[in-house]
């Protein structure tokens, strides 16, 4: 089995997701600036995996601080956190991880620089380990929504590649398979970055889970034909009222699911829930390079000059990377702490013990 991200001998090793499914290349990072670039360029992507990469990037940055002066250390550490936090705006797991790493420093004012560095490395490793356990618990909580014989539609990649391992939406699917249920998955290809065709299809095939690839515009047809029993997707940020930001195109799938009376589930850890944000209108939506739309396949190849232009030169382009699905389209939100249902506001707060 592949490893999405790992801490190895004071470096961060990540599978380069831009090159999948045709090349399985692992990259080793020793400099936090390169980890920041890897998050921005989507070597690593998916909300929980971005959180883990952010924590490990901060740990690398801390290890590299040369000063013996505590005040100087804290100032440089703040800057490391700032750089990592500036990489991608939508997935709240990034900011959650930055806050957790800052918390290590805040809560241990008596530790010297060397001790702090070791604690920060430890925290990043803990975040990684916890994420896998959380996903497995989420899988167990969500498996009950799946019956043997079901066909599940998913959008983007909310799998092992989007997390430290196992996955959120694909974790629920994996748990159902482990429970002995015979299921089929339809994967939306997920234009423009193709996380569905390049990543979801790849990792489900590796696990021998029955997966069929469709283009995004085929989902409605499949639903009308009665070929989809339920939808499960991941999330990048869930507002206090349950409105959910996820990969662009998720909203259209949710609207279609409602029209066809198909349950629509979101699987996400508590670290993806942002109770500070009241509703989906307030979630920042990342706009990415227009070349993701005008050229194929992935940006890594584009940079190597192997791009194929599929739109006129100088065409005006929009490329929002995420959209927001209003809570009314969501049947339930599956988390490691249990299931949130309508009204989401109360239910989500309850999961945090509030
Ligand atoms: O732009 P990406 O690939 O980082 O977007 C990923 C998604 O939208 C996922 O569905 C989401 O992060 C959930 S991953 C468990």
Q: What is the pLDDT of residue 296?
A: 82
| pTM (two decimals) | 0.96
151-154 and 184-188 strand pairing: parallel
Residue 20 backbone dihedrals phi, psi, to 5 degrees? -70, 150
**Ligand 1 site-directed mutation target among 20, 157, 244, most atoms within 8 Å of CB:** 157
Q: State in Å: Cα 68 to ligand 1 middle.
A: 39
For residues 48 and 132, the answer to whether their CB atoms sit within 8 Å is no
> What is the average per-residue pLDDT within 231-236?
98
Q: Confidence class of residue 191 from pLDDT cuts 50, 70 and 90?
A: very high
Q: What is the pLDDT of residue 260?
A: 98
> What is the average per-residue pLDDT within 207-232?
98
Q: Which atom of ligand 1 is nearest to the CA of 170?
A: 15
Q: Which atom of ligand 1 is nearest to the CA of 168?
A: 15
Judged against a pLDDT cut of 70, whether residue 303 lies above it is answered with no
**Ligand 1 site-directed mutation target among 247, 299, 333, most atoms within 8 Å of CB:** 247
236 given a catalytic annotation: yes
Max Cα separation, the chain? 67
Cα 182 from Cα 146, distance rounded (Å): 10
Q: What is the pLDDT of residue 69?
A: 97
Counting beta carbons within 10 angstroms of the beta carbon of residue 68, is it exposed (0 to 12), middle (13 to 18) or buried (19 or more)?
exposed
**DSSP code of residue 287:** B
The percent helix, strand, coil of the chain (3-state, each to 5) is 45, 15, 40
Report all structural domains of the chain as residue ranges with CATH numbers, in order of start. Answer: 5-135 (1.20.120.420), 140-351 (3.40.50.10470)
What tokens were used for 144? Answer: 């009950």
Q: What is the pLDDT of residue 307?
A: 78
The vertex-285 CA angle with 283 and 286, nearest 5°, equals 145
Q: State in Å: Cα 17 to ligand 1 middle.
A: 12
What tokens were used for 304? Answer: 């190597």
**Closest residue CA from atom 8 of ligand 1:** 247
Q: State in Å: Cα 83 to ligand 1 middle.
A: 21
Q: What is the pLDDT of residue 298?
A: 56
Q: Where are the alpha helices (DSSP H) in the chain?
A: 32-40, 47-63, 70-85, 92-107, 113-142, 169-178, 195, 201-206, 219-224, 250-259, 291-294, 299-303, 344-351
* Residue bearing tokens 């004071």: 10
Q: How far is CA 111 from CA 97, 116, 118, 142, 179, in A?
A: 21, 6, 10, 41, 46
Which residues does a 6 A CB cutoff place in the pocket of ligand 1?
45-48, 91, 156, 158, 162-163, 168, 195, 234-236, 246-247, 321
Catalytic residue among 131, 188, 229, 236: 236
Q: Which residue has the higher pLDDT, 61 or 298?
A: 61
**Closest residue CA from atom 5 of ligand 1:** 46
Q: State in Å: Cα 237 to ligand 1 middle.
A: 10
Judged against a pLDDT cut of 60, whether residue 253 lies above it is answered with yes
Q: What is the pLDDT of residue 151?
A: 98
Asked, as a colleague might, if the bond just before 250 is cis with ω within 30 of 0, I would say no
Extended strands (E) in 281-330: 295-296, 308-309, 322-325
Q: Which atom of ligand 1 is nearest to the CA of 88?
A: 4
Counting beta carbons within 10 angstroms of the beta carbon of residue 318, is it exposed (0 to 12), middle (13 to 18) or buried (19 or more)?
exposed
Q: State in Å: Cα 154 to ligand 1 middle.
A: 12
Task: Give the percent of the chain with pLDDT over 70.
Answer: 97
Least confident of 203-212, 256-265, 290-299, 339-348: 290-299
Cα 7 from Cα 250, distance rounded (Å): 32
Q: Which atom of ligand 1 is nearest to the CA of 268?
A: 15
Q: Which atom of ligand 1 is nearest to the CA of 156?
A: 10
Q: State in Å: Cα 158 to ligand 1 middle.
A: 6
Q: What is the pLDDT of residue 299?
A: 56
């Amino acid at each position: 089995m592949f490893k999405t991200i790992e801490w190895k001998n004071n470096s961060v090793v990540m599978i380069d997701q831009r090159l999948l499914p045709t090349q399985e290349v692992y990259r080793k990072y020793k400099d936090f600036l390169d980890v920041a670039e890897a998050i921005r360029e989507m070597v690593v992507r998916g909300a929980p995996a971005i959180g883990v990469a952010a924590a490990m990037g901060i740990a690398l940055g801390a290890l590299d601080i040369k000063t013996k002066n505590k005040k100087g250390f804290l100032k440089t550490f703040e800057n490391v956190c700032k750089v990592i936090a500036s990489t991608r705006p939508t997935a709240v797991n990034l900011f959650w991880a930055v806050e957790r790493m800052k918390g290590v420093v805040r809560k241990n004012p008596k530790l010297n620089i060397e001790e702090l560095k070791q604690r920060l490395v430890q925290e990043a490793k803990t975040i990684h380990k916890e994420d896998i356990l959380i996903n497995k618990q989420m899988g167990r909580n969500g498996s009950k929504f799946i019956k043997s014989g079901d066909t599940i539609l998913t959008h983007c990649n909310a799998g092992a590649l989007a997390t430290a391992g196992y996955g959120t939406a694909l974790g629920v699917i994996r748990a159902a398979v482990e429970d002995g249920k015979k299921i089929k998955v339809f994967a939306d290809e997920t234009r423009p970055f193709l996380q569905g065709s390049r990543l979801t299809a790849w990792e489900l095939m590796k696990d021998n889970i029955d997966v069929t690839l469709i283009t995004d515009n085929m989902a409605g047809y499949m639903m009308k034909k009665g070929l989809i029993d339920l939808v499960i997707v991941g999330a990048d940020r869930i507002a206090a009222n349950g409105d959910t930001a996820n990969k662009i195109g998720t909203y259209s799938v949710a609207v279609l699911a409602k029209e066809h009376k198909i349950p629509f589930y979101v699987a996400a850890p508590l670290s993806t829930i942002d109770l500070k944000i009241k509703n989906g209108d307030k979630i920042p939506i990342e706009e990415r390079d227009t070349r993701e739309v005008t050229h194929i396949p992935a940006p890594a190849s584009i940079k190597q000059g192997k791009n194929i232009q599929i739109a006129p030169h100088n065409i005006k382009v929009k490329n929002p990377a995420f959209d927001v699905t209003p809570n009314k389209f969501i049947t339930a939100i599956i988390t490691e702490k249990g299931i949130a249902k309508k009204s989401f506001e109360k239910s989500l707060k309850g999961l945090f013990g509030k």
